[in-house]
Structure 1
Amino acid sequence: MEVDMKVLHISAQKPDSTGSGIYMSGIINGFRKKNIDQALIVGIDIADSEQAILEKFDGEVSLYPLKYNSEVLDFNVPGMSDNMPYPSTRYRDITSYQAAKMREEFSKLLMDAVDKENPDVIICHHLYYISAITRELLPNKKIYAICHGTCIRQLMSNDFMRDYVIEKIGQLDGVFALHNEQKRTIEKLFVIDESKVKIIGSGYDSSIFNNKMIKKSGNIKISYAGKISCSKGLIPFINALNKIDISEDYIDIVFAGGASDCDELEEIVNLAKKSCHKIDFVGKIDQQELADLFNSSDIFVLPSYYEGLPLVILEALACGCYVICTNTDGLEEWLSDDIKRSGMFDLVELPEMLDIQTPVLEQVEGFENRLKFALEKAVDYRKSSRDKFLDISNLSWDGLSERLLVLITEDQLL
């Protein structure tokens, strides 16, 4: 489907370091194939390379960066999660003065972009502060927002501009949810009519994440990719690895990802050093390196306490991995029956949670044991089926972009 349309994308954070940033980039690149004119407002650090951002889109977008650690915005880029893979400011810690300066600088940038680009549609990422400001300042523009899950977590865990955000998000022309459970939460939280909330799911970049059919031999390789933080369930994961009835000489383990909380990183690394299995920390890696890691892996594990809709699951499946992940809110109903019944996927029940990232202490051991059983099952499966993989090519970014474009176009014609 091709349409004559100008689109302005808006994100408060970096476009290349988080799942939501990758999601936004996937949509932009999908729209590019349909010859849609696009512009992009993003939050970056003053030291970040604008050229590197433009190269992600072959220079075919107009970039409007909101620069942090600058003379006016003299603090780190705000992070939609409390622990980001780069230095960030937690929304709960933003002062009223900082919030006012964010609003002032973003407003100037937004109006400049709208004046120069005259977009037909604005797509915001996250149902949060910047999206709320956009709605207030542009009451006559078609404005939609995509929920990535972490914005809901922010609204439920701190009071930063809460009433303002809820009021303005409820006035958007439409909201896109990742799955049914998230849709229901959005409708209730923002008091928004169900007809304005559409489900679009997720996607992945099939040009990078694809099965290179590498013939595997030797040790079974288990990988994790994501932030190195406690909320990702890495401590019970390491404890579960220590419990598995498998020789330490039979498996290799790799953790990929960056960290912003030095104390949590130290805690996780120190626990890994004491493990009976050697765990290699390879740090933050780019998308191609991640695809190579998955192609060399037999099993991918995502033991998070909370996720929006983790793109990394699709990326790992596309590269041929057996995937183990926790049954976070909405994940099971989003997954197709083909994935759930493939024999290449295992959902592990979470412990009861005190909040969205703190488990009930007495239930952690049971969680570790469930991870242990899932790991033993996966390793046993891979011993005899190392070349099996699941074809999920229908879930690429191109498919997601097409779904989003159809929904926006249909709404435009109402």
Structure 2
Amino acid sequence: MKILHISAQKPDSTGSGIYLSGLIKGMMQFSSEQALIIGIDLCDSIEKIYEKFDNRIDIYPMIYNKGVLDFDVPGMSDNMPYNSTKYSDITETQAKHIKEEFEKILENAIDDFKPDIILCHHLYFVTSIVRNKYPNKKVVSICHGTCIRQILSNNFQKQFILDNIKKLDMVFALHKEQANQIEKVYCVDSKKIVVLGSGFDNTIFYNKGYKKEGTIKLTYVGKISYSKGLIQLINALDNEKREFKNQIELMIVGDGSNKEEVNYIKKLALQSEVKIIFTGRVNQNELSQILNNSDIFVLPSFYEGLPLVILEALSCGNYVITTDIPGIKEWIGDEINSSGLIQYVKLPRMKSVSTPYDEDINEFEQNLRKAIFEAVKYRCEYSNRGKYIDISQLSWSNLSKKLYENLCSLN
């Protein structure tokens, strides 16, 4: 089976990019012929992207900041870890140029590669263009959650997207809650929706058995933005039980494209009584080292698709605190949920997709503070700093097998 993967953005730095990369590598055991269309900027190295996939796939780049695409790569989130263009800011002329340039690259890839299946990422604009242009080809797509947030938040090409997404041959959801959203928002026939789940690279993320002593290390990994709950996390740490104040430190891994938000969060961190370290963006091997040296992983986000970093943190031996994002508990499963190594914090009410009501923030910070206190106490008092759970069954290899079996059912 020849598979053409398509993403409108870069194949790294974000959860969906890592997901795409993990699937391509996992699918190599089933399909030796894969190709990829991606969006990159003129300054990005295509050679490094080839190396990322061991030079085993064909790549067809759509290059921005060049010619008529004289703007940054559009981002599925409004705050990306690199310079990007918000879909809500794209003009009709820019949308026309994106469609025309993408169709040229798509035609070239299909004529050259001749795929059996076209596998798109995100239920959004580029996927809709593929379905619209090739109504008789097998076209499927994976939802990462951010596409739902975009379709609910702005009117960019909304009707065109809604008209075409429901015509896809198959749609993959990350969890059951998301599958229900897809059916409701895009009017996709429930019979065409398959819950796929997520995975992680267990050859990189595994417990290396480091001896953990002294300071309890908390880690956050993701974009630096208001919607990730970082302000509330810093406030919660500052109001933590004073007996633990000098025993904990927080490492924030990642970056953000909204400099105003990034600068505000960093300024708040400087004023904190707790030591807070910003690492910037790191590669997967560096992240594995950080998580192996960490005790507690904290994800205070107000909105997520399916945060695979939770799996990476668990596999590296972290106790995990995460907001109770819809669908996460079901996806995580009973074995992990009953392990004593994961704790869920109730989300505040949301006035928009990722913006909480102000009057609920104080209670959310109190709940987050309580969860952190319990996690620190667990690590300090019960000699469980080395306890972890084996989740290797959730690897990209196993997820790719499930995907491949579903794709085969279409032929």
User: TM-score by structure 1 length?
Assistant: 0.98
Amino-acid identity (%): 52
Select 1:330's aligned residue among 327, 331, 336. Answer: 327
Conservation of the 8 A alpha-carbon contact between 1:7 and 1:36? no
Q: Aligned to 1:247, what secondary structure does the other structure show?
A: helix
Letter in 2 for 1:33: Q
**Letter paired with 1:220:** I
The answer as to 2:52 corresponding to 1:92 is: no
Unaligned regions of 5+ residues in structure 2, if any? none
Residue in structure 2 matched with residue 255 of structure 1 by the alignment: 252
- 1:36: how far off? 2.7
Structure 1 residue 183 displacement after superposition: 0.6
| 1:220-257 Cα shifts (integer Å, max 9, x gaps) | 11111100111000000000001111433211211010
1:242 corresponds in structure 2 to 238
**Residue 171 (structure 1) aligns with:** 167
Aligned length: 408
Contact 2:7 2:120 in 1 (8 A): yes
Question: Is 2:261 the counterpart of 1:264?
Answer: yes
Map residues 273-288 of structure 1 onto 2, 5 A cutoff: 273-288=270-285
Instruction: For residue 108 of structure 1, report the CA deviation from its aligned partner.
Output: 0.1
Ranges in structure 1 where 5+ consecutive residues have no aligned partner: none
Does structure 1 retain, via aligned residues, the 8 Å contact 2:297–2:313? yes
Give the alignment partner of residue 125 of structure 2, picking from 129, 135, 147: 129
2:99 is matched with which residue?
103
Give me the whole-angstrom Cα distance separating, in 2, the residues matched to 1:179 and 1:121: 23
Query: What's the CA shift for 1:330?
Result: 1.4
Query: Quick one: which amino acid aligns to residue 406 of structure 1?
Result: E
Q: Give the secondary structure class of the aligned counterpart of 1:186.
A: helix
Query: Higher mean Cα deviation, 145-154 or 281-290?
Result: 281-290
Q: How does 1:13-412 map to 2 (within 5 A)?
A: 13-245=9-241, 246-383=243-380, 384-412=383-411
Shift of 1:35: 3.9
Aligned-partner Cα distance in 2 for 1:36–1:146: 21
Q: What are the Cα deviations for residues 387-406 of structure 1, in whole angstroms up to 9, with x where unaligned?
A: 10011100000011000001
Spell out, residue by residue over 1:75-126, the C-alpha distance to the aligned partner (whole angstroms, 9 max, x if none).
0000000000000000000000000000000000000000000000010000
Structure 1 contact 224–301 (Cα < 8 Å) conserved: yes
Are the equivalent residues in 2 in contact too, given 1:300–1:316 (CA < 8 A)? yes
Q: Is the 8 A contact 2:196 2:403 kept in 1?
A: yes
Q: In structure 2, the residue corresponding to 1:145 is in which secondary structure?
A: strand
Q: Is the 8 A contact 2:179 2:193 kept in 1?
A: yes
Counterpart of 2:349, as a letter, is: E
Judge which range, 189-198 or 41-50, deviates more: 189-198
Deviation at 1:335, TM superposition (A): 1.7
Does the residue aligned with 2:359 lie in a helix, a strand or coil?
helix
Supply the distance in 2 between the matched residues of 1:28 and 1:237 (Cα, whole angstroms): 35
State the one-letter code of the partner of 1:379.
V
Q: Normalising to structure 2: TM-score of the pair?
A: 0.98
What is the distance in 2 between the residues matched to 1:241 and 1:218? Answer: 18
Contact 1:324 1:347 in 2 (8 A): yes
Partners of 2:175 and 2:327 within 8 A in 1: yes
Question: Using the alignment, how far apart are the partners of 1:362 and 1:187 within structure 2?
Answer: 32
CA distance in 2 between counterparts of 1:176 and 1:167 reads: 18
Counterpart residue type for residue 402 of structure 2: R
Shift of 1:128: 0.2
Shift of 1:178: 0.5
Q: Secondary structure at the match of 2:246?
A: coil
Take 1:203 and 1:276, find their aligned partners in 2: how far apart are those partners?
A: 36
Cα deviation for residue 135 of structure 1 reads 0.4
Q: Is the contact made by 2:30 and 2:404 (CA closer than 8 Å) also made in structure 1?
A: no
Amino acid at match of 2:30: K
| Alpha-carbon separation, structure 1, partners of 2:32 and 2:345 | 41
SS in 1 for 2:3: strand
Instruction: Tell me by how many angstroms 1:71 deviates.
Output: 1.6
Of stretches 103-112 and 357-366 in structure 1, the one that deviates more from structure 2 is 357-366
Deviates more, 1:131-140 or 1:30-39: 30-39
Cα distance in 1 between the residues matched to 2:119 and 2:32: 13
* Contact 1:83/1:259, CA 8 A, preserved across alignment: yes
Q: Retained in 1: the 8 A contact 2:172–2:195?
A: yes
